[in-house]
């Protein structure tokens, strides 16, 4: 686990910066011998040319009969995208709740009850390895990426029980057995109100060691964002993030039938302070020293053997994600018995998650009548976490008032099958199901120091959980012509239940306090079409959906029984299964090429998600009929790119992206009422009426040129410096709520060389 200390900002990247820079140097030196080879392409990819693996088979995006979108790696590089906030909101039906690096909650089709849900409804995959879901899922670096796929709707049959609302899949570039090549890209930029220039460096090198048999791909990156939020308490600015890492993969194909692929990656990030500010004064924070460290290690191995009629694939994965954060919660001192003169109160949280997985998949070769997939899956999850209350003004060890170590464990085993029947050359029926068996346990140990602030106590609590889940899927598709595809799909997804623990192990809680909550389920119905017109110069991908969400886990309120021990224990908010919601809407993607040199796109999504049954009023006191929060009802985005000749082999281009996000709220109204009550106890200012988020537009623009190998462009993100609110923290940490805002206007220059 990461150690409980606050590293200086300048030192955070040092440990692995040399590794990243050495990787880039290796790329530049090694590329000298590659100049005679064909350079890696930097040309934009048309929609019909994108290949995805949403069904665990490589298929053209236009021929996949389900609701899926994709962003190519070339598009990410041209937009200088380094994290989710650079592109996610452009995708129809997709939104995100942004609490900073490593604390992003992806939301598909409005399926969320809390913006910072640790167990969200969208599964995150790195190639074929599951990383997690919700706010707790680590963020893989978006460098040297082939594409990112967005699979909307339950994906439980092929992607497991955590993909209730959908799945996001990051697909990295594989080593190329035919061509030695690679790229180097560098960016420098300035952010309005930033405390200096930011930069991005990344690159990859793909040497062929044995033609057609063995190749490796090595890459590295370093991103550094300037601080941009003024902090008068510290006399400096905060909010910037440094990120760095490296990846190496090797592909060995000794015969035409056998292939072995291995990959390892490390990613590190350090955020100075929090990318949030005070509600009353955006871009100004009055908080004490804060930081957020994130680390992600990945190792994967894939072995595939083609028997002819079918291919057997073994996928082994290991990931370890570690996080350490300090958060200023000094306002809660009003709820604590505290040492005289103490004014600073820090909440420290740490977490180390180790996930090991093994999948065996047998998949038929594409046939005339039947295609099938069967597989087995096993996953083991071990977590070590702890939360502590720190008083920095007291010398250690007495400064640690309370520490609550936590040791969750989960094991999941599953079997799945999927069968497609080509009834005619145009009509295909598919059916699949997955059975998952989940077992888990958790031990929480409450430990307080020998300080007189709070009496000594050692409380150990152990709980267990189990789930048996079935995720079915039915799909019927009709490919009328090569340019017309229609499909209808019915699927059911589940999300495993989990355990509840009081935030303070010493609190004697309500004897009716629920120890766990059960799995919830989602019934989904989709109808969609993918159409091409005018010799494929115009494409329309559209779908409509209806979701029935049942047994939803929501936060309830319980009264603690020992205010004399911990005054802050007057309320607890465990999750309980309450009521149900329904959601309906649609997603639309339109792409047009009026000229070979002109591309235009329009994307939009509409989602209407309401709580239709509030469940037991004695538990949650929720109100039926209110919209589920955390995401707007609709989003709208558009883009335009125009190319034109310049000189020699160089062509110029100008492009722009527009995004509109309407107003929405982050929390259910009943949850907000709880925050107001909590704030009153803490003597903090908390508005009775929940502030609305969104209601903003953002324009990005790029102007540049490219040839076969070189490209360069000037870009601007948030060109008009819009200042819309993007999140609000749901717990009073200071005198006022903390909010996130759009990043200020950023202008940069990017140069890239593909070889």
Helices (H) and strands (E) in the chain, counts: 4, 43
Question: Region 482-499: what's the mean pLDDT?
Answer: 92
The pLDDT of residue 40 is 65
Binned at pLDDT 50, 70 and 90, residue 672 comes out as: confident
Answer with the residue of higher pLDDT: 30 or 582. 582
Question: Region 686-695: what's the mean pLDDT?
Answer: 84
Per residue in 259-283, pLDDT (tens digit) is 999 999 999 999 998 888 877 777 7
CA angle at residue 84 from 80 to 86, to 5 degrees? 40
Mean pLDDT of the chain: 83
The pLDDT of residue 435 is 96
Per residue in 129-158, pLDDT (tens digit) is 999 887 767 777 789 999 999 999 999 999
Question: Is residue 380 assigned to a domain?
Answer: yes
Residue 44 pLDDT exceeds 80: no
CATH code (residue 677) = 2.40.170.20
Cα–Cα distance for residue pair 315/261, rounded to 1 Å: 9
Q: What's the token pair of residue 189?
A: 């930029």
Among 145-159, 192-206, 605-619, which stretch is predicted with the lowest mean pLDDT?
Answer: 605-619
The pLDDT of residue 505 is 47
Q: What's the token pair of residue 332?
A: 């809660």
The pLDDT of residue 347 is 77
Nearest to 377 by CA among 365, 397, 359, 398: 359
Question: Is residue 3 assigned to a domain?
Answer: no
Answer with the residue of higher pLDDT: 62 or 672. 62
Question: Region 449-464: what's the mean pLDDT?
Answer: 49
Torsion of CA 209, 210, 214, 217, to 10 degrees: 20
The pLDDT of residue 384 is 86
The pLDDT of residue 17 is 46
The pLDDT of residue 127 is 93
Residue 121 pLDDT exceeds 50: yes
The pLDDT of residue 231 is 87
Q: Give the domain range for residue 657.
A: 9-754
Residue 565 pLDDT exceeds 50: no
Per residue in 221-248, pLDDT (tens digit) is 999 999 999 888 888 899 999 999 999 9
Answer with the residue of higher pLDDT: 564 or 473. 473
106 in Cβ contact with 94 (< 8 Å): yes
Binned at pLDDT 50, 70 and 90, residue 43 comes out as: low
Binned at pLDDT 50, 70 and 90, residue 1 comes out as: very low
Q: Specify the number of domains making up the chain.
A: 1
483 in Cβ contact with 538 (< 8 Å): no
User: Could you give phi then psi for residue 541, rounded to 5 degrees?
Assistant: -110, 120
Answer with the residue of higher pLDDT: 386 or 332. 386
The pLDDT of residue 732 is 46
222 in Cβ contact with 21 (< 8 Å): yes
The pLDDT of residue 117 is 67
The pLDDT of residue 289 is 80
CA angle at residue 321 from 247 to 101, to 5 degrees? 85
The pLDDT of residue 336 is 57
Cα–Cα distance for residue pair 654/473, rounded to 1 Å: 43
Percent composition of the chain: helix, strand, coil (DSSP 3-state, to 5):
10, 55, 35
Side-chain half-sphere CA neighbours of 198 within 13 A: 27
Q: Which residue has the tokens 């997955």?
A: 434
Question: Is residue 537 assigned to a domain?
Answer: yes
Long-range Cβ contacts of 546-549 (<8 Å, 24+ apart): 546/582, 546/583, 546/584, 547/109, 547/111, 547/522, 547/523, 547/582, 547/583, 547/584, 547/609, 548/522, 548/523, 548/524, 548/580, 548/582, 549/111, 549/520, 549/521, 549/522, 549/580, 549/581, 549/582, 549/583
Cα–Cα distance for residue pair 211/251, rounded to 1 Å: 12
The pLDDT of residue 514 is 76
The pLDDT of residue 280 is 73
Question: Region 346-368: what's the mean pLDDT?
Answer: 90
The pLDDT of residue 518 is 86
Nearest to 136 by CA among 482, 385, 393: 385
645 in Cβ contact with 580 (< 8 Å): no
The pLDDT of residue 81 is 86
**What is the per-residue burial (b if ≥16 Cβ within 10 Å, else e) of 457-475?**
eebebebebebebebbbeb
Beta strand segments in 338-422, E: 346-364, 370-390, 400-422
Binned at pLDDT 50, 70 and 90, residue 18 comes out as: very low
Q: What's the token pair of residue 172?
A: 């990295």
Per residue in 568-592, pLDDT (tens digit) is 454 566 788 877 899 999 999 999 9
Question: Is residue 2 assigned to a domain?
Answer: no
The pLDDT of residue 28 is 43
- What is the gyration radius of the CA atoms in the chain, in angstroms? 26
Per residue in 697-735, pLDDT (tens digit) is 999 999 999 988 899 999 999 999 999 988 887 654 455
Cβ count within 10 A of residue 100: 20
Secondary structure (3-state) at 377 = strand
Cα–Cα distance for residue pair 583/604, rounded to 1 Å: 16
Question: Is residue 70 assigned to a domain?
Answer: yes
Question: Is residue 1 assigned to a domain?
Answer: no
The pLDDT of residue 729 is 75
Most confident region among 100-114, 381-395, 476-490 by mean pLDDT: 476-490
CA angle at residue 99 from 440 to 615, to 5 degrees? 55
Among 13-27, 480-494, 531-545, 665-679, which stretch is predicted with the lowest mean pLDDT?
Answer: 13-27
Question: Is residue 4 assigned to a domain?
Answer: no
Percent of the chain with pLDDT over 70: 80
Answer with the residue of higher pLDDT: 343 or 381. 381
Within 245-316, residue ranges assigned H as helices are: none
Answer with the residue of higher pLDDT: 621 or 702. 702
């Amino acid at each position: 686990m990461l150690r409980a200390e606050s590293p200086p900002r300048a030192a955070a990247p040092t440990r692995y910066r040399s590794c990243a820079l050495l990787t880039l140097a290796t790329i530049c030196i090694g590329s000298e011998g590659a100049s005679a080879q064909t350079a890696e392409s930097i040309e934009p990819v048309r929609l019909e040319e994108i290949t995805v693996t949403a069904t665990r088979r490589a298929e053209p995006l236009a021929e996949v009969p389900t609701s899926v979108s994709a962003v190519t790696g070339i598009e990410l590089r041209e937009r200088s995208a380094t994290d989710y906030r650079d592109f996610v909101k452009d995708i129809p039906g997709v939104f995100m709740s942004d609490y900073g690096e490593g604390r992003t909650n992806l939301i598909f089709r409005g399926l969320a009850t809390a913006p910072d849900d640790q167990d969200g409804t969208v599964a995150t995959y790195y190639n074929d390895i599951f990383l997690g879901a919700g706010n707790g899922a680590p963020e893989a670096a978006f460098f040297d990426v082939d594409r990112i796929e967005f699979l909307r709707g339950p994906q439980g049959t092929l992607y497991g029980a955590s993909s209730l609302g959908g799945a996001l899949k990051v697909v990295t570039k594989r080593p190329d057995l035919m061509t030695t090549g690679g790229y180097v890209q560098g960016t420098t930029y300035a952010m309005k109100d930033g405390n200096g220039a930011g930069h991005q460096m990344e690159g990859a090198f793909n040497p062929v060691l044995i033609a057609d048999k063995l190749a490796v791909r090595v890459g590295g990156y370093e991103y550094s964002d300037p601080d941009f939020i003024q902090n008068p308490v510290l006399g400096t600015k905060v909010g910037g993030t440094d990120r760095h890492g490296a990846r190496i993969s090797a592909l060995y194909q000794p015969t035409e039938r056998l292939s072995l692929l291995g990959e390892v990656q490390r990613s590190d990030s350090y955020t100075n302070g929090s990318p949030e500010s005070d509600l009353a004064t955006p871009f100004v924070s009055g908080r004490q020293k804060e930081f957020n460290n994130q680390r992600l290690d990945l190792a994967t191995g894939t072995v595939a053997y083609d028997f002819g009629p079918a291919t057997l694939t073994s996928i082994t994965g290991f990931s370890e994600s570690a996080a350490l954060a300090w958060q200023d919660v000094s306002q809660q001192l009003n709820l604590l018995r505290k040492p005289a003169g103490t004014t600073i109160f820090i909440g420290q949280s740490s977490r180390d998650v180790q996930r090991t997985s093994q999948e065996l998949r047998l998949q038929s070769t594409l046939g005339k009548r039947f295609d099938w997939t069967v597989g087995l899956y096993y996953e083991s999850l071990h977590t070590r976490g702890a939360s502590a209350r720190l008083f920095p003004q007291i010398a250690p060890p007495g400064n640690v008032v309370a520490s609550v170590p936590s040791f969750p464990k989960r094991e999941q085993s599953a079997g799945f099958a999927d069968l497609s029947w080509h009834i005619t050359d145009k009509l295909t029926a598919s059916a699949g199901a997955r059975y998952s068996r989940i077992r888990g346990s958790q031990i929480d140990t409450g430990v307080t120091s020998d300080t007189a602030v709070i009496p000594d106590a050692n409380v150990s609590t152990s709980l267990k959980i189990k789930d048996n889940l079935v995720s079915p899927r039915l799909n019927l598709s009709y490919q009328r012509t090569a340019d017309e595809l229609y499909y209808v799909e019915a699927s059911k997804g589940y999300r495993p239940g989990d355990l509840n623990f009081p935030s303070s192990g010493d609190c004697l809680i309500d004897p009716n306090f629920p120890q766990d909550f059960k799995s919830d389920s989602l019934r989904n119905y989709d109808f969609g079409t993918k159409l091409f017109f005018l010799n494929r110069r115009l494409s329309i991908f559209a779908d409509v959906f209806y979701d029935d969400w049942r047994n939803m886990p929501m936060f309830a309120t319980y009264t603690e029984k020992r205010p004399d021990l911990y005054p802050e224990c007057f309320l607890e908010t465990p999750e309980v299964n309450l009521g149900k919601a329904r959601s309906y809407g649609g997603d639309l993607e339109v792409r047009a090429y009026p000229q070979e040199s002109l591309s235009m796109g329009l994307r939009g999504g509409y989602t209407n998600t309401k709580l239709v049954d509030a469940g037991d009023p004695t538990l949650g006191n929720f109100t039926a009929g209110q919209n589920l929060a955390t995401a707007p009802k609709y989003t709208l985005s558009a883009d335009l790119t125009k190319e034109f000749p310049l000189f020699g082999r160089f062509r110029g281009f100008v492009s722009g992206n527009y995004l509109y996000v309407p107003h929405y709220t982050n929390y259910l109204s009943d949850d907000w009422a709880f925050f107001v009550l909590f704030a009153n106890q803490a003597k903090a200012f908390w508005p009775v009426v929940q502030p609305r988020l969104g209601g903003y537009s953002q324009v990005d623009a790029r102007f540049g040129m490219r040839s076969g190998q070189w490209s360069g462009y000037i870009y601007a993100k948030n060109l008009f410096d819009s200042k819309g609110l993007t999140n609000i923290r749901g717990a009073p940490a200071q005198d006022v709520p903390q909010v996130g805002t759009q990043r200020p206007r950023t202008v940069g220059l990017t140069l890239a060389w593909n070889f």
